[in-house]
Chains A and B, each alone.
Chain A
Amino acid sequence: MTRLGAGERVQRLLAIVPWIVDHPGSRVDEVCRRFSIDEPDLLKAFDLLPFVGVHPFSPDALIDVVLEDGRVWLHLAEPFGRPLRLTPEESLALVAAGRSVVATPGFDGDGSLARGLAKLARSLGIDDEGAVDVRLADEVAPDLLDRLRGAVRSRQRIRLDYYSYARDEHTRREVDPFQVFADAGRWYLAGHCHRAGGDRVFRVDRIASAEILDVDFEPPAPEARPGTFEPGPDAPRVVLDLGPEARWVAEHYPCDHVEPLDDGRVRVTLAVTARPWLERLLLVLGPDADPVAVDERLGGADVRSEAAARVLRRYGNDGPLR
């Protein structure tokens, strides 16, 4: 169990005391489990309680602890008979976690979370259902999310029809799924991809279909699982000068270098998986970003011009601006 400071230990005790007052004769081991406290620590706290009370500390104003057969009773603990109210941080943590789980398909099957959340919200003064809404991640097909999580639990290989955004291609691949998780507003599936021959992370909204296969696998320990994007040292790089409207790129993507320029722009170096990804970025940023150096594998110096010309051909127009 973790070491707590004096403040936190008082906080925990201020929660334990009213609970025991409310549940006289509770088992000491149950109190320990409920409040994640070691038995020696709890007994030490019980030793202290008989010295707690109010002036002038006559015996009838001090907390009385009775321990018998592994059970505990507290008397004269009136000032601490009810728990301290929740802090805004605590309320937010509970309501936000609860709302996000309620809004995630496949959870809260029996509705107990929704009921608990409604009671909690009412006691905090936020009666209105719409006062706090937490979408952990973008909506995806609920049955897809369910199927992926089921495969993670049963440790079964899956076959995915997946659109690779970076490469702009549709692929079919077999994956040993390790974990489904949300990050920065998107659902991801982490797993071992047999097509790529390595661990990969997939955006769930780009999975067109998933089929569970009759193949078992043993997942690695959580710490050995891949994160959302880890560019290899050999991945091709691009150097961009970003104007004010494009600066978000420096914060949004992992950059090798970020360097302020004299004219107020910033120069960034970032790893790119494949050419289509870079083409989109450059077309969207437009004049707000200038490619300074582009790896040949990403199309070289003319990548933006070529991409713009290719899209323009769809509009029956391929000349530069005159």
Chain B
Amino acid sequence: MSQKLERLLNLIAALLETPRALSAEEIRARVPGYPDEAGPTFRRAFERDKDDLREMGVPLRVETVPGTDPPQTGYRIPRDEYYLRDPGLEPDELAALHLAASTVGLDGDHGLGGLWKLGGALGGDGGGGEVEPLGRLPADAAVAVAFQAVAERRPLTFRYRGEARTVDPYRLDFQLGRWYLTGFDHLRGEERNFRFDRIEGELAAGRPRAFERPQGAVPGVERASWQLGEGEPVVADLLVDADHAALARHELGEAAVTEERADGSVRFSVGVTNRAGFRAVVLGHLDHAEILGPPELRDDLVAWLRALVAP
């Protein structure tokens, strides 16, 4: 194990220090720990080492060794891509990030590796208190690819609802247990939201700095299920009984309240662009809520329910 460790360190040092790409043969000659002779044993070891470097996130460049004819494949690690841009964290800021990463883990536990690079855990006095975990965030490879794409302004291509999309990614949101992507959708010619769990197949990132982010904040996903549709909203007048009023206030927001009646019931005004979403909200209150208007929404719900009553 320590031989492999030593070889990997020497390999990284050699590839970082070289001003030009090194051929596999030069690497074999310069890095101790490889077999003395070129051949399949060396090839296998070198292939494994390259995989290890890539897995660690070491930016390994594959390019032609200058001046070779026929051209020979060479390798190097560009220093400006290898080294961390030190964010210059103060000890208390590093400690706070460490606490956050322990409180909320992202699936895969990559936070710890990142913290090492930023200076490790804070060697506090006595270790501090126990951390009560608050929850875990689900993550898959696509979310990490999209994160890098947001940071480096790389366009993303993927299939969504059966169509090929190219999207300039502006922001990521995690809401109600799901990851969302917001960006400029070239197919539709406007800003759109995408759910990661609905992305079909692979997500591919293009070249960096390929687009400009819009000035100012980009609005994230709209969480309200009754507002997920498109087009002009229909404004619903909803009455909720007293014993469900507190729940409905939480669900629809205080701004939606239009009347507080003496019996404790509350009227709400709700802009609806997604009727199925709104229906689910109303039916969640069973017979403790009633759509007062407009007639089109009221009739909609009545027709929906009448179809469910046994003849």
Contacts and interface: CB of A to CB of B under 8 A. Distances in A.
B143 interface: yes
A135 B218 CA distance: 16
B173 interface: yes
B187 interface: no
B113 A101 contact: no
B94 interface: yes
Contact of A305 (B16, B90, B174, B309): B309
Between B30, B57, B172, B305, the greatest number of chain A beta carbons within 10 A of the residue's beta carbon is seen for B305
B83 A97 contact: no
A180 interface: yes
Interface string A289-322: 0000000000000101101111111110111110
A36 B307 CA distance: 63
B268 interface: no
B172 A51 contact: no
B174 A134 contact: yes
Interface stretch (A7-15, A64-72, A255-263): A7-15
Contact of A185 (B84, B92, B177): B177
B308 A308 contact: yes
B147 A108 contact: no
Given A15-B117, A33-B123, A310 B97 contact: no
Contact of B92 (A30, A110, A168, A283): A110
Interface stretch (B35-43, B155-163, B257-265, B277-285): B277-285
B307 A87 contact: no
B2 A84 contact: no
Interface string B106-136: 1011111111111111110000000011110
A182 interface: yes
A88 B144 contact: yes
B306 to A, nearest CB: 4
Interface stretch (A121-129, A194-202, A229-237, A266-274): A121-129
B308 A48 contact: no
Interface residues of A, number: 118
A94 B114 contact: yes
A45 B2 CA distance: 8
Interface in A95-136: 95-98, 100-102, 104, 107-108, 110, 112-113, 115-117, 119-120, 122-126, 128-136
A201 to B, nearest CB: 13
A49 B58 CA distance: 19
Given A36-B121, A97-B103, A90 B171 contact: no
Interface string B269-297: 00000000001100110110010000000
A84 B307 contact: no
A13 B105 contact: no
A186 B303 CA distance: 33
A191 interface: no
Interface in B1-54: 1-2, 4-6, 8-10, 12-14, 16-17, 30-32, 52
A82 B86 contact: yes
Contacts of A95: 147
B16 A79 contact: yes
Interface string A159-184: 00001000010100000000111111
A206 B243 CA distance: 12
Contacts of B303: 321
B84 to A, nearest CB: 5
B116 A15 contact: yes
Interface string B223-254: 00000000000000000000100110010000
B6 A136 contact: no
A213 interface: no
A9 B84 contact: no
Contacts of B255: none
A317 B103 CA distance: 52
Contacts of A307: 286
Contacts of A130: 171, 217-218, 220
Given A88-B148, A132-B150, A315-B290, 12 more contacts: A6-B1, A14-B12, A97-B104, A104-B134, A112-B95, A128-B213, A133-B173, A170-B243, A181-B133, A205-B250, A312-B305, A320-B310
For the complex of A and B, the 4 pairs showing the least CB-CB separation, nearest first, are A116-B93, A34-B120, A90-B114, A185-B176
Interface of A: 6-16, 19, 30, 33-36, 44-45, 47-49, 51-55, 57, 79-80, 82-98, 100-102, 104, 107-108, 110, 112-113, 115-117, 119-120, 122-126, 128-138, 140, 152, 163, 168, 170, 179-186, 205-206, 208, 276, 279-280, 282-284, 286-287, 302, 304-305, 307-315, 317-321
Interface of B: 1-2, 4-6, 8-10, 12-14, 16-17, 30-32, 52, 55-59, 81-90, 92-97, 99-101, 103-106, 108-123, 132-135, 137, 139, 143-145, 147-148, 150-153, 170-178, 213, 217-218, 220, 243, 246-247, 250, 279-280, 283-284, 286-287, 290, 298, 301-311
